[in-house]
Amino acid sequence: MNDVSRPVILLVSETRGAFLRDEFGRYARDYDLRTATTVAEAERIAKEVAGAGGLVALFVTESTLPDAGVFEAFGRLRAVVPTARRLVTAHWERFRVDADALRHGLANGKFDAYLLMPRGARDEEFHTAITEMLSDWGSTVAAPEVDVVRIVTPYVDSLVLALRDFLDRMGLPNRTYAPDDDAVAEIVADVVDPAYPLVTAFDRAPVAVRSVHDLAITVYGQPGDIDVDTVVDLAVVGGGPAGLATAVYGASEGLSTVVLEAEAIGGQAGTSSMIRNYLGFPRGISGMRLAQRARSQAIRFGTRFFTGWPVTGLEPGRAGAPHLLHTDGGDLRARAVVIASGVTYRKLRVETLEALTGSGVFYGAAMTAAREMADQDVYVVGGGNSAGQAAVHLSRFARSVTILVRRAGLAETMSDYLVREIEYNPRIIVEAASEVVDGGGEGRLEWLGIHRITTGQVERRAAGGLFLLLGAEPRCDWLPEVIDRDEDGYVCTGRDTARRSWVDGLPPPGLATTVPGVFAVGDIRAGSMKRVASASGEGASVVPLVHAWLAEYD
């Protein structure tokens, strides 16, 4: 009973514990199945597991419990193990009675999923939901059982966190080892005067890396591997939702397609811990998983990806001649180019905090860093969906999460489902009319100065983490001036382009730029909606325009 070597699935049922244990039997090899008949007993078991250093992966309860309502039960269990996923399995005869109340709780984030109990053997719909939840838990909480990339370092600094974040977003299981760990003794022994961090990927020789760029080369190779004598039909700059959708639809329709991504596949959306309002994923999906599935889909149709290499320049072709894209690892010629390079988070521009970036201060959700926030008081700055998703994810680890927004609240800028989930989360506090103006610490973040806009007062608060999701700035300094941009730097397309560039009084097609054969989709495009679904839609919609352009010169 005290073995904590395997994560626990805790089944709570007064009358159907044996049935649930039998149904979950297929997971017994990798998980420790435990049962309780009351919430009080489940609470005791969870405390024992946590106290012994073990992990609870999943709480499973019936829709009715003998000593507490479901919502109260999950509140108590969540207080003991906030990282565990929470599932209600309602019996079929209770479906009509419980459904409305359970849906309300699900919408407000009181638990993660609501399923009807299996009615027979091999209910794979039921088990698909279970494995998705366990997979989500495993990718964000537990250390991987098997690693394909090993980072060897005597310290964890901002670079190591950035390397781990890149690998997590690329879906590559990884671990960090101290140089004296027996598991990496042979790796270190073979290196003369090792410079840390050392990285070994897929059992290849270790390499000292100084940047995420170096890591990308170590794992994926250089873009110089592109055959520069080949002109591809379509080059996509950026691997976020818009770029991935472009690649899937372009390659599936027979276009030779290459994607160049400066960082990890997925863009900003790839850092989202859970996207709950994306069509077709009723239980939600993490940005990383959505991006990896789209990447696999694009590869299936023949797309080639080159990751970790930013495009540094674009030379437009004339009269149907190929466009030339420059990277530090090689050039690429393409008949059509789709700009999907997205945006970056706006800087806070507080010098003392900028100096601590990566050491308690992070731009974006930084899912890897969330694990480092255990028992810390954490602050999130931003009022959009990305900020809300980051806060919910951080609340699984941090002691408290405070969202700071300059506005009067979140309702104007955040989706309603997230606002309600945040309101019902006891670990998250929203402080309106507030902004960060100062902060510091010895080597890492220790405190923040928070300005109350309505009173003018500045409060000093202890802080273990600051996550900045401040809005967007376009990534297009590599584009030539001939491509029209608005006053904020976003790429103009269609009717938003300057009239002087129109031909015979007609604007370019809806997603076309002022350079024929060059298109823009997603967040980089002026007037875009800044949503994953709309970015994906633009990626699909641009492909017919690419076909029409290519047809002119076939």
Q: pLDDT of the chain along its 554 residues, tens only?
A: 456 789 999 999 998 888 889 999 999 999 999 999 999 999 999 999 999 999 999 999 998 899 999 999 999 999 999 999 999 998 777 777 777 888 888 877 889 998 988 877 788 889 999 999 998 888 777 667 678 899 999 988 888 988 988 888 888 888 999 988 988 888 788 787 788 999 988 888 888 999 888 888 888 766 555 554 689 999 999 999 999 999 999 999 999 999 999 888 888 888 887 888 888 888 888 888 899 999 999 999 999 998 877 899 999 998 889 999 998 878 899 999 999 999 988 899 999 999 999 899 998 877 778 888 988 999 999 999 989 999 999 999 999 999 999 999 999 999 998 999 999 899 999 999 999 999 999 989 999 999 999 999 999 999 999 999 988 889 888 999 999 999 999 999 999 999 988 988 899 999 999 999 999 999 999 999 888 999 999 999 999 999 999 998 77
Distance, first Cα to last Cα, the chain: 71
* pTM for the model: 0.86
3-state secondary structure 167-231: HHHCCCCEEEECCCCHHHHHHHHCCCCCCCCEEEECCCCCEECCCHHHHHHHHHCCHHHCCCCCE
Q: Is there a single domain that holds both residue 70 and residue 193?
A: no
Encoded tokens for 50:
């946590």
What is the model's pLDDT at position 328? 80
Q: Is there a single domain that holds both residue 50 and residue 105?
A: yes
What is the model's pLDDT at position 3? 66
What is the model's pLDDT at position 524? 95
What is the model's pLDDT at position 381? 96
Q: Is 484 left (phi over 0), alpha (psi -120 to 50) or beta?
A: beta
Provide Rg for the chain, Cα atoms.
Answer: 25
Q: Is the peptide bond before 197 cis (omega within 30 degrees of 0)?
A: yes
> Using CA atoms, how far apart are residues 324 and 334, in angstroms rounded to an integer?
7
Of 194, 220, 246, which residue constitutes the final position of a domain? 220
Amino acid at 38: T
Of 448, 470, 492, which residue constitutes the final position of a domain? 470
Which residues, listed in sequence order, are joined to residue 332 by a DSSP beta bridge?
Answer: 325
What is the model's pLDDT at position 482? 95
Of 121, 140, 159, which residue constitutes the final position of a domain? 140
Q: Is there a single domain that holds both residue 395 and residue 453?
A: yes
For the chain, what's the residue count? 554
What is the model's pLDDT at position 364? 84
Task: Identify the CATH number of the domain in which residue 482 sits.
Answer: 3.50.50.60
Domain assignment of residue 206, yes or no: yes
Residues with Cβ within 8 Å of residue 186, at least 6 apart in sequence: none
What is the model's pLDDT at position 143? 67
In angstroms, the Cα distances linking 25 to 20, 21, 29, 32, 325 are 8, 6, 8, 10, 54
> Helices 95-107 and 416-423 meet at what angle, rounded to 10?
90
What is the model's pLDDT at position 281? 86
Any idea what DSSP says for residue 532?
Answer: H
Q: Is there a single domain that holds both residue 107 and residue 172?
A: no
Number of neighbouring beta carbons within 10 Å of residue 99: 14
Which residues, listed in sequence order, are joined to residue 448 by a DSSP beta bridge?
Answer: 439, 461
Domain that holds residue 157: 149-220
Q: Is there a single domain that holds both residue 164 and residue 238?
A: no
Positive/negative CA dihedral, 55, 61, 66, 69 = positive
Encoded tokens for 83:
């990282």
Domain assignment of residue 2, yes or no: no
Question: In total, how many domains does the chain have?
Answer: 4
What is the model's pLDDT at position 222? 64
Q: Is there a single domain that holds both residue 23 and residue 103?
A: yes
Q: Is there a single domain that holds both residue 237 and residue 211?
A: no
What is the model's pLDDT at position 447? 97
Comparing CA positions, the residue from 345, 341, 311, 344 lying closest to residue 326 is 311
Secondary structure class of 232 (helix, strand, coil): strand
What is the model's pLDDT at position 365? 77
